[in-house]
Structure 1
Amino acid sequence: MTERKPAGMSFESWVDKQVRESEQRGDFAKLPGFGKPLESLEAPYDENWWIKQKLQREGVSVLPPTLALRKEAEDLLAALPGVRTEREVRSMLADINEKIRATLLRPPPGPPLNRKPFDVDAVVAEWHEARKDA
């Protein structure tokens, strides 16, 4: 569609010709989502829809730092049952506690963290208890 409309040809017929030729070449059949219903037709209009779709396709998640740290702490607790050694558990807890303390010492952008550093000995005791049952 980089060519210019010929003089003397109506704009509508020129566009129709371009569309028809593209259909004949199969250009539309190669588009993602061809033959599938349009998503969120009933959703209210959002002027940033294309940005949100791009972020979703790329797997990008933009969370405020405090929410990202909350999620990291929750993921760490969920991953502890699979950890093999106490040294590794203590190392993981020390790393997350350092991040939590640093966040608590400066005013964070976004919502409050609502998290305090883990009691390493208590979590390690729970980890030992969970390993006995498994």
Structure 2
Amino acid sequence: MKQSLFIVIIFFLSCSKPFDNRLLGIWKTNSKFYRATYKFEKVNHNIIGKLLYYNDGTTILHETGTTKDIFIKNLRYDDHLFIDAVSGATQTTSRNYEIKVMHTDTLEVTTFIHNKPSIETWTRKH
């Protein structure tokens, strides 16, 4: 009986998907149009994205330490991409961000503006 219980526990542990830590940390944009620093962190089994700094030459934003900083509320992993189905900025259910891990320190981030993709490279800040 103990042996079969042990086998069942091992089976469920091996089938459960481990939390994906590849995005966690601080990331900087490599855009010629603006500078920004973002942070991905785990909150209640979800990955959220927070704005730490943004400067496009006309608007400068700094982290406020409030929920206003959250620009991605819940990333989910789907078809080799992290997808933000509900963005805090737009309050919509359409895809707003697609994030592909290119390397341990490099992300390919696609944002959609009027259904047109804009692709950026973000690098991990050490």
Q: TM-score, normalised by structure 1?
A: 0.21
**Which has the higher Rg, Structure 1 or Structure 2?**
1
Q: TM-score, normalised by structure 2?
A: 0.22
Higher fraction of strand = 2
Higher fraction of helix = 1
